[in-house]
Amino acid sequence: MKKIGLFGGTFDPPHIGHIQLVKTVLESLELDEVWLIPTYTPPHKEGARADSQHRLNMLRLLIDGEDQLSISTIEYKREGKSYTLDTVKELKKLYPKNQFYFIIGGDMIDYLPKWHRIDELKQLIQFVGVQRKGYNNPNDQDVLIVEMPPIEVSSTDIRENIKLGRVPVGLPDSVREYIKENHLYED
Ligand code: ATP
């Protein structure tokens, strides 16, 4: 039996906060692997700024050389938007021997009640919330908390800096170059 973490995100763009977060969970829960799952059409956001293929290419660059990290394009293969419940059900069916964990950033814990059929989802998979050290933990008994030192980077800040013509921080060189070559987030 393998212990696998699942980590969904828009990754618009992916950044070092994402890598740090999954590595922290890998180590503290002694997982075998983490599968990153980019959303095709994000259900909680207006829509991604960079198209799905660009976001996937950047994610590949971000995890390059990381043996325990891989990407699942399961949500790209479905038409339209994906609910986490459907993704988790499908993965559990495909890999019945694996033990799955669903990793979320600490700021998402408060939003869990809004997720599609969250009670059913919580029965299917253990949630792991990565909480910034020193901050109060939101109170959700079903979420296993892993602590991580804060990393001041977000996709929103990166996009804003690029728009303002600044060099964005929090990206590996490969991703920064990809964004530049493809003129992403410039307007
Ligand atoms: P945006 O700024 O566009 O909302 P984001 O940087 O939060 O994007 P997402 O792809 O939406 O990136 O995030 C996926 C997950 O990563 C979320 O659960 C989010 O909480 C978490 N996350 C993102 N950045 C960090 C960070 N610096 N520290 C801890 N968790 C983070």
Domains of the chain in start order, with CATH, are 3-180 (3.40.50.620)
Ligand 1 pocket residue status of 151, Cβ below 6 Å: yes
Tokens of 33: 């692997």
pLDDT tier at 43, thresholds 50, 70, 90: very low
pLDDT in tens, 148-168: 988 889 999 999 999 999 999
Percent of the chain clearing pLDDT 70 (strictly above): 93
Tokens of 172: 């590996």
pLDDT tier at 36, thresholds 50, 70, 90: very high
pLDDT of residue 45: 55
**Per-residue pLDDT for 42 more than 60?**
no
Burial label, 183 (beta-carbon count in 10 A; 0-12, 13-18, 19+):
exposed
Tokens of 165: 């013509």
Ligand 1 center to 155 CA (angstroms): 7
Residue 47: C-alpha distances to residues 39, 40, 50, 71, 77 (Å)? 10, 9, 9, 20, 18
Ligand 1 pocket residue status of 84, Cβ below 6 Å: no
Contact of 126 with 106, CB cutoff 8 Å = no
**Per-residue pLDDT for 21 more than 70?**
yes
**Per-residue pLDDT for 169 more than 60?**
yes
pLDDT in tens, 45-94: 566 789 889 999 999 999 999 999 999 999 999 867 889 999 999 999 99
* Mean predicted confidence (pLDDT) in 168-177: 97
Rounded Cα distance, 1 and 95, in Å: 10
pLDDT of residue 89: 98
Tokens of 148: 């991580």
Q: Say how many CA atoms lie within 13 Å of 167 toward its Cβ.
A: 3
pLDDT of residue 41: 65
Ligand 1 pocket residue status of 168, Cβ below 6 Å: no
